[in-house]
């Protein structure tokens, strides 16, 4: 069961601890898939074995091997896999070797290596392994937002390894990564004074001699595996009321008192969202101050990046913790349907601390984009219109749904989304179908105010 927490099983199985938990196999809703609502990230069962043999927190040099064991495809096996390599977009990535089932392969190099097209030979049978030897030369990423960056002795390793994805654009407004849930086994060899914050749980630690230590970690059903390394981290921990272990990683420049404020906001959010949607499924929640140049925060499964000096700090924590439900557990095509996760996190950021009364007002110039704008369209955003149009307009949309259908039906719909799409990916047609199916009023006129989807008229109201 890996890192799927006991309170999750308490809820899911009523206290039983099955040896082989059933997979989430609920009917897709709706059964039809309109154009543009396909999920191109291949549906497969994979275990990532990631080995970092060098991670230097002074120079940013990382040497690693990613072995992706593909057990089976849950759909016809594609002729090509697309590996997403976010560090290539920052110019940090060097590919040393790529092998499919032991055979060297020359990948198709797309967008400077941000996407690697890996051909799969016809007749290649599962299980097989895609192995990538690579190095990273990580520097201080210019915008401050970089998932992968070296900032004041803090080495951020988010989106740091080749991961199975689809062909998509890089974005500096929406999160640049989209992937499916998988299992992870990770080892990091580093100097013995380096503290390692990570997704999942630590399963072992051993001395390598010469002042070096191997950290062994694992995670189940996570769609990414983030690490943050620093020899300047101090770690505080607490237990949230649902049993989750919350950890706060601070560095010498972090403001005092931030840990207790972060724990209070995390408790409020985990408690609220567990009740409203469904339980927080991971045993740990790591809150990591990744350095003074981070303008806000970033979400990874079971781990969030924050800047301890950000104000209002509690809102930042609520937003990033809310992403554990909207992005980590309930996945979406983040570069295509940013309204689901970013609009949702903004809705909960404003709603959880205020009893769902704080509604963002439109900016004076109005919204530049429809709520369904994707990362490519958002490249034309002026000023902070990417934020207004997707985050704030998304929050308004969720509020308007709640007002029209009533709060009880609204929360029933959210629990249904959680039940159907946990550890999967939900598309807009599925989201809007679930809310429509729980609504006593026809939501299609509201949908048409926010979205250009041509299939809205086909979402018939609940009889």
Please report, as ranges, the residues that interact with Zn ion according to CB under 5 A. Answer: 342, 345
Give the Å distances, CA to CA, from 105 to 57, 88, 159: 31, 18, 23
* Angstrom distance (rounded) from CA 69 to CA 128: 6
Give the Å distances, CA to CA, from 322 to 357, 360, 439: 17, 17, 24
- Name the minimum Å distance from CB 332 to Zn ion: 12
* Angstrom distance (rounded) from CA 124 to CA 390: 42
**Which of 69/342 has CB closer to Zn ion?**
342
The residue whose Cβ lies closest to Zn ion is 345
- Name the minimum Å distance from CB 270 to Zn ion: 17
**Which of 68/317 has CB closer to Zn ion?**
317
DSSP letter, residue 310: -
User: Other C-beta atoms within 10 Å of 416: how many?
Assistant: 18
- Name the minimum Å distance from CB 323 to Zn ion: 6
Dmax over CA atoms of the chain, in Å, equals: 70
**Which of 336/345 has CB closer to Zn ion?**
345
Burial 376-404 (b: 16+ CB within 10 A, else e): eebeebeeebbbbbbbbbbbbbbbebbeb
* Angstrom distance (rounded) from CA 96 to CA 105: 11
Task: For residue 122, report the phi and psi dihedrals to the nearest 5 degrees.
Answer: -60, 140
**Which of 283/331 has CB closer to Zn ion?**
331
- Put the strands of the sheet holding 108-110 in their side by side order: 108-110, 115-119, 80-84, 163-165
**Which of 315/415 has CB closer to Zn ion?**
315
CA angle 254, 258, 263 (to 5 degrees): 140
- Name the minimum Å distance from CB 214 to Zn ion: 33
**Which of 267/342 has CB closer to Zn ion?**
342
Query: Exposure of 152 by Cβ count < 10 A (0-12 exposed, 13-18 middle, 19+ buried)?
Result: middle
**Which of 100/345 has CB closer to Zn ion?**
345
- Name the minimum Å distance from CB 85 to Zn ion: 22
- Name the minimum Å distance from CB 86 to Zn ion: 16
**Which of 174/182 has CB closer to Zn ion?**
174
- Name the minimum Å distance from CB 449 to Zn ion: 23
* Angstrom distance (rounded) from CA 387 to CA 326: 17
- Name the minimum Å distance from CB 94 to Zn ion: 30
Q: Where are the alpha helices (DSSP H) in 352-427?
A: 385-386, 393-405, 407-421
């Amino acid at each position: 069961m890996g890192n799927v927490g006991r309170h999750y099983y308490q809820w899911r199985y009523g206290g039983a601890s099955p040896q082989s938990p059933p997979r989430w196999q609920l009917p897709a809703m709706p059964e039809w898939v309109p154009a543009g609502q396909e999920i191109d990230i291949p549906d497969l069962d994979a275990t990532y074995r990631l080995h970092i043999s060098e991670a230097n927190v002074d120079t940013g040099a990382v040497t690693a091997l990613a072995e992706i064991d593909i057990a089976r495809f849950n759909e016809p096996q594609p002729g090509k896999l697309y590996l997403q390599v976010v560090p290539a977009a920052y110019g940090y990535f060097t590919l040393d070797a790529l092998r499919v089932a032991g055979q060297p392969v020359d990948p198709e190099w797309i967008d400077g290596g941000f996407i690697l097209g890996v051909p799969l030979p016809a007749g290649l049978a599962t299980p097989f392994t895609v192995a990538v030897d690579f190095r990273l030369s990580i520097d201080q990423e210019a915008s401050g937002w970089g998932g992968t960056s070296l900032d004041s002795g803090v080495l951020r390793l988010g989106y740091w390894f080749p991961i199975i994805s689809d062909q998509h654009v890089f974005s500096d407004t929406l999160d640049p990564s989209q992937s499916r849930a998988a299992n992870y086994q990770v080892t990091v060899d580093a100097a013995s004074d380096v503290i390692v914050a990570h997704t999942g749980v630590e399963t072992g630690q051993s001395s390598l001699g010469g002042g070096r230590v191997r950290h062994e970690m694992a995670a189940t059903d996570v769609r990414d595996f983030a690490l943050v390394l620093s020899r300047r981290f101090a770690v505080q921990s607490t237990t949230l009321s649902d049993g989750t272990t919350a950890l706060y990683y601070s560095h010498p420049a972090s403001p005092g008192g931030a840990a207790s404020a972060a724990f209070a906001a995390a408790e409020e959010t985990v408690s609220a969202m567990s009740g409203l949607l469904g339980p927080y499924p991971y045993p740990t929640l790591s809150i990591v101050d990744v350095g003074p140049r981070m303008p806000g925060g970033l979400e990874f499964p079971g781990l969030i990046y924050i800047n301890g000096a950000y104000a209002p700090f509690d809102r930042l924590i609520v937003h990033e913790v809310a992403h554990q439900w909207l992005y980590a557990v309930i996945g979406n095509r983040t570069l295509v349907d940013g309204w689901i996760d970013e609009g949702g996190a903004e809705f909960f950021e404003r709603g959880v601390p205020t009893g769902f009364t704080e509604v963002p007002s439109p900016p004076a110039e109005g919204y530049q984009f429809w709520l369904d704008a994707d990362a490519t369209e958002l490249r034309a955003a002026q000023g902070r219109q990417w934020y207004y149009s997707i985050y704030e307009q998304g929050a308004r949309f969720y509020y308007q749904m709640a007002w029209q259908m009533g709060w009880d039906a609204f929360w029933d719909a959210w629990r249904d989304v959680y039940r159907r799409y946990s550890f999967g990916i939900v598309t807009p047609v599925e989201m809007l179908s679930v809310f429509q199916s729980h609504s006593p009023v026809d939501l299609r006129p509201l949908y048409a105010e926010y979205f250009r989807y041509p299939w809205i008229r086909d979402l018939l109201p609940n009889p």
